């Protein structure tokens, strides 16, 4: 983080709130747009967050503050601790504004968009169910597991590797890289004593990942397979095609964006179900419940708690506050999801909630690209866990959380069960 941290940021990222940040968010919502001297503008209420996510003045690419410079011509400031992008690569479309964002997003989407989406998701349903089944079979002979290490973690990485066409023997390397890159996204100022060392390792890993992906792209160019990377490499639409570096940063984005997030959705989901055993029992008897239930989880305990990196390209007046051009803005999605001005009885977990336009996948031009896949993964994972685990119970509540305040979730979720069905 380059900006000086204010005390609000310290509170929000304080590990003491990790297991239950919601009372703090309720306090913060008393001032919908809060700001202290040093820190960013913190937006915590639903309508303000929603409005800003749809406001073209609020940029995801601070380089656009300088209208004279074309994005591809700007060298990255060495001082900037920019953890998400690969060294030597242009930012992925997550970090770009329209029109460049839209061009790359639609190029990335094209091979999977209609009419291909339903077919792809249908084909994937079988594959995902098989991977989940194998992971659960692996619990045989045990009476306790760590859900994170044994299930929630390996599942999405295996899926994204298969999707991207990463050979199975390389998956363990990929898992390790994904982990390090995700840890680098944490803005917690006190995350650990040796932040410089952490950044060094993270840079090194990102370079390794870039080299690996770039070789994989070359291979797919020579010999295309039935995977997403081959489709992206070969795609040429009305918008043209992706350059080599664009392909690389898109592949790296898909890996990172779809990993830790899905791990946390599944883990937070199982935690919530085990705290609400009557809902778990209902799910076991009625698997259709899983569709609204996963939406409610994305509202109630979302894996992406906040979007900490937005910049107004011009002054924005909102909720009686003027946010100056160039300021840093943090949008607390998870707080918006608990806003009583928007949701009835927001602190209640209501698996059949009807009016549920949550912010769990963001909103506006950057809204989650992988939402259909993430939903499907979580739906299959939770349905199968509910169906197959006999008498599951939590061994630790609250569990130990990862330090990361943005991508929030338990580091371990120890469970006991009586057997497998």
Interacting residues with ligand HEM (CB under 6 A):
60, 93-94, 105, 253-254, 257-258, 261-262, 265, 302-304, 307, 360-362, 366, 368-370, 373-374
Encoded tokens for 361: 């996948």
Question: At closest approach, how far in Å is the CB of 200 from ligand HEM?
Answer: 26
Question: At closest approach, how far in Å is the CB of 360 from ligand HEM?
Answer: 5
Question: At closest approach, how far in Å is the CB of 373 from ligand HEM?
Answer: 5
Question: At closest approach, how far in Å is the CB of 398 from ligand HEM?
Answer: 20
Q: How far apart, in whole angstroms, are the C-alpha atoms of residue 325 and residue 315?
A: 5
Encoded tokens for 66: 């300088």
Q: How far apart, in whole angstroms, are the C-alpha atoms of residue 101 and residue 98?
A: 5
Question: At closest approach, how far in Å is the CB of 365 from ligand HEM?
Answer: 6
How far, CA to CA in Å, does 87 sit from each of 69, 90, 176? 20, 8, 18
Q: How far apart, in whole angstroms, are the C-alpha atoms of residue 230 and residue 219?
A: 9
Choice between 94 and 161, CB closer to ligand HEM? 94
Strand partners, 325: none
Q: How far apart, in whole angstroms, are the C-alpha atoms of residue 345 and residue 335?
A: 14
Encoded tokens for 150: 């044994």
Question: At closest approach, how far in Å is the CB of 153 from ligand HEM?
Answer: 13
Choice between 228 and 283, CB closer to ligand HEM? 228
Give the residue carrying structure tokens 């080299």.
211
Of 11, 41, 6, the residue nearest 26 (C-alpha): 11
Question: At closest approach, how far in Å is the CB of 377 from ligand HEM?
Answer: 7
86 touches 210 (CB < 8 A): yes
Encoded tokens for 372: 């259909």
Encoded tokens for 346: 């927001």
Q: How far apart, in whole angstroms, are the C-alpha atoms of residue 90 and residue 69?
A: 14
At residue 43, what are phi and psi to the nearest 5 degrees?
-110, 125
DSSP 3-state of 64: helix
Of 311, 302, 326, the residue nearest 406 (C-alpha): 302
Choice between 334 and 417, CB closer to ligand HEM? 334
Choice between 104 and 136, CB closer to ligand HEM? 104
Choice between 103 and 284, CB closer to ligand HEM? 103
Choice between 328 and 417, CB closer to ligand HEM? 328
Choice between 164 and 417, CB closer to ligand HEM? 164
Question: At closest approach, how far in Å is the CB of 418 from ligand HEM?
Answer: 29
Choice between 201 and 356, CB closer to ligand HEM? 356
Instruction: Find the residue with minimal CB distance to ligand HEM.
Output: 370
342 touches 336 (CB < 8 A): yes
């Amino acid at each position: 983080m380059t900006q000086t941290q204010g005390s609000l940021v310290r509170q929000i990222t304080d590990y003491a709130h990790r297991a239950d940040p919601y009372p703090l968010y309720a306090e913060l919502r008393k001032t919908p747009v809060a700001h202290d001297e040093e820190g960013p503008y913190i937006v915590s209420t639903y309508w303000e967050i929603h409005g800003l996510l749809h406001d073209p003045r609020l940029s995801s690419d601070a380089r656009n503050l300088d209208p004279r410079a074309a994005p591809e011509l700007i060298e990255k400031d060495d001082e900037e601790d920019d953890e998400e992008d690969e060294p030597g690569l242009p930012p992925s479309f997550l970090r770009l504004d329209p029109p460049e964002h839209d061009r790359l997003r639609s190029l990335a989407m094209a091979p999977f968009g209609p009419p291909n989406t339903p077919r792809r998701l249908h084909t994937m349903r079988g594959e995902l169910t098989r991977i989940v089944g194998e992971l659960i079979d692996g619990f045989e002979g045990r009476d306790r597991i760590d859900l994170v290490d044994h299930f929630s973690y390996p599942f999405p990485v295996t899926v994204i590797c298969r999707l991207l066409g990463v050979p199975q023997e390389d998956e363990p390397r990929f898992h390790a890289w994904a982990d390090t890159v995700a840890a680098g996204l944490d803005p917690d100022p006190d995350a650990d004593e040796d932040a410089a060392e952490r950044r060094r390792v993270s840079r090194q890993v990102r370079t390794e990942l870039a080299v690996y992906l770039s070789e994989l792209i070359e291979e797919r160019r020579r010999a295309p397979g039935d995977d997403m990377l081959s489709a992206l490499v070969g795609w040429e639409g009305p918008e043209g095609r992706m350059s080599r570096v664009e392909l690389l940063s898109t592949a790296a984005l898909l890996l990172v964006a779809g990993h830790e997030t899905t791990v946390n959705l599944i883990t937070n989901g199982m935690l919530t179900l085990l705290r609400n055993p009557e809902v778990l029992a209902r799910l076991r008897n009625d698997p259709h419940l899983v569709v609204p239930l996963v939406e409610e989880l994305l509202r109630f305990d979302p894996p992406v708690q906040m979007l900490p990196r937005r910049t107004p390209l011009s002054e924005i007046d909102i909720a009686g506050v003027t946010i100056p051009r160039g300021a840093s803005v943090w949008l607390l999605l998870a707080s918006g999801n608990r806003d009583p001005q928007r949701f009835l009885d927001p602190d209640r977990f209501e698996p059949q909630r009807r009016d549920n336009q949550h912010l769990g996948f963001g909103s506006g031009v950057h809204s989650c690209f992988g939402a259909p896949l993430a939903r499907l993964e979580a739906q299959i994972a939770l349905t199968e866990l509910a169906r197959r685990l006999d008498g599951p119970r939590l061994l630790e509540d609250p569990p130990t959380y990862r330090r990361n305040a943005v991508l929030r979730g338990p580091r371990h979720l120890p469970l006991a069960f009586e057997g497998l069905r």
